[in-house]
Amino acid sequence: MINRIRDIRLQKGLTLADVAAACTPPTTAQTIGRLETGMRNLSLVWMNRIAAALQVEPETLLRSDNAEPARLIASLGSKGPEALRKPIDAVLPSDLSADAPWLVLAVDASQGEYREGDQVWLRQHGPEQAGALIDRDVLAPLPAGRFAFGRLITSEDGAVTLLPPASGRERVTVAAPAWLAVAETLVRKL
């Protein structure tokens, strides 16, 4: 098995020292570097420590020798596309953060900024976090297995009010939602 510690660390914009300091208990940047390069064995204990420091699931740190992953080969900046010094494995957004469950909303008809065929990946949060989600697109459960989706515009007394993405639609107030899921990633085929 080949580890993807370096790839995940780079995609999260962290240094070896950042990961070392985030480990519990903290370790050295040299130790993390040795684990990344395979100069030191990645035991289950180390795998769990590093996964917690990177905020990913431990199994995300490994990939099969014969699996051909997607590669991150270039970045698009103000001067146009530039090749990376060394290509790295691309890590799925769902693998980069394991702090809350993912939910996915499929868009069957264009509404506002969302196009037919889009997938909106959302992170599930408790209703007590509604105040921090103001002005973000959220999905909220309604009775009888239905949902409300839109921009969270108010959160008062346990109720939330959403403004749907389609123009001309009425605001929806959800009293005491069991949870809220905030839109974090948009997947759109070109």
- Quote the pLDDT of residue 97: 61
Cα-based distances in Å from 122 to 114, 119, 166 = 14, 10, 19
pLDDT: which is higher, 13 or 64: 13
3-state helix, strand, coil in the chain (%, to 5): 25, 35, 35
Judge contact between 110 and 116, C-beta under 8 A: yes
Place of tokens 């080969």: 73
β-sheet bridge partners, residue 148: 140
Amino acid at 68: E
* Gap between the Cα atoms of 1 and 12, Å rounded: 22
Domains delineated in the chain: 2-91 (1.10.260.40), 102-187 (2.10.109.10)
pLDDT in tens, 78-126: 888 888 888 877 766 666 666 677 888 999 989 899 999 999 989 899 9
pLDDT: which is higher, 93 or 15: 15
* Gap between the Cα atoms of 74 and 16, Å rounded: 22
* Gap between the Cα atoms of 25 and 8, Å rounded: 20
- Quote the pLDDT of residue 4: 87
Judge contact between 37 and 86, C-beta under 8 A: no
pLDDT in tens, 47-71: 999 999 998 888 888 865 555 667 7
Structure tokens at 158: 């346990």
- Quote the pLDDT of residue 49: 94
181, pLDDT greater than 60: yes
Q: What per-residue string of b and e applies to 67-85 under the rule 16 or more CB within 10 Å gives b? A: eeeeebeeeeeeeeeeeee
Structure tokens at 100: 């809350």
- Quote the pLDDT of residue 141: 94
Q: How many helices (H) and strands (E) does the chain have?
A: 5, 11
Check whether the bond before 25 is cis (ω within 30° of 0).
yes
* CA neighbor of 11 nearest in space, from 129, 90, 121: 90
